[in-house]
């Protein structure tokens, strides 16, 4: 792949992740779910109390995350991507992240806290499906987490 193709793919993946965040915090779940490959995996088990183990398939990821964020105002930001294009349809990426979750008074809780402010990294792989890059796997690690 030449430099133009690689730069173009990197920008496409940055915009894919931008839509990920917009749809996640805007609770546009069907649009959000379509950003993953059908058999994508998500591993946020390490830090999200109650999140359980690795979640498999886009449908299960969407179902799990939409339930976790019911009644929660969320802000997720990504920073400083290191995206590597491995081939015409495979890529990897590491993103720094920050998230702020505020539970409404009557929302189901994940633990004895109503506010979560965290920092960490997404470790991701991407696959191209036709014209579009999709998230094929997502693993979240944490640097710091403040619960109150």
Find the binder of its own copies among 31, 63, 89, 98 (CB under 8 A): 98
Question: Which H or E run includes 23?
Answer: helix 3-25
When binding is defined by CB under 8 A, the residue of 68, 119, 127, 139 that contacts its own copies is 119
Contact residue for its own copies among 81, 90, 127, 147 (CB under 8 A) = 81
Would you count residue 105 as binding its own copies (CB under 8 A)? Answer: no
Stretch that binds its own copies, among 38-46, 55-63, 80-88, 124-132 (CB under 8 A): 80-88
70 belongs to the binding site for its own copies (CB under 8 A): no
- For 23-78, the DSSP string reads HHHTT-HHHHHTTEEEEEEEE-TTTSTT--S-EESHHHHHHHHHHHTTTEEEEEEE
Which tokens hold the place of 77?
Answer: 């930001």
| Contact call for residue 60 and its own copies (CB under 8 A) | no
Among 45, 60, 94, 147, binds its own copies (CB under 8 A): 94
Side-chain-side CA neighbours of 6 within 13 Å: the count stands at: 10
Residues 42 and 66: beta-carbon distance below 8 Å: no
Q: Per-residue x/- marks for its own copies, 36-55, CB under 8 A?
A: --------------------
67 binds its own copies (CB under 8 A): no
Q: How far is CA 77 from CA 48, 135, 147, in A?
A: 17, 17, 18
**Tokens representing residue 55 in the block:** 């979640």
Q: Take residue 84 and report the two structure tokens written for it.
A: 């590597």
Chain residues in the site for its own copies (CB under 8 A)? 3-4, 7-8, 10-11, 14-15, 17-19, 21-22, 25, 73-75, 77-82, 94, 96, 98, 100, 102, 119, 121, 143-144
């Amino acid at each position: 792949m030449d430099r133009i193709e690689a730069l173009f793919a990197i920008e496409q993946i940055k915009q894919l992740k931008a839509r990920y965040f917009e749809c996640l915090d805007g609770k546009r779940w069907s649009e959000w779910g379509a950003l993953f490959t059908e058999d994508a995996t998500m591993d946020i088990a390490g830090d999200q109390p109650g999140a359980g183990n690795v979640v498999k398939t886009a449908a299960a990821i969407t179902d799990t995350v939409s339930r976790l964020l019911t009644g929660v105002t969320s802000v997720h930001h990504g920073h400083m991507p290191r995206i590597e294009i491995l081939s015409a349809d495979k890529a990897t990426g590491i993103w720094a992240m920050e998230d702020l979750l505020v539970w409404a008074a009557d929302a189901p809780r994940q633990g004895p806290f109503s506010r979560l402010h965290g920092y960490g990294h997404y470790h991701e792989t991407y696959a191209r499906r036709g014209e579009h890059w999709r998230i094929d796997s997502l693993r979240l690690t944490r640097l710091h987490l403040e619960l109150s």
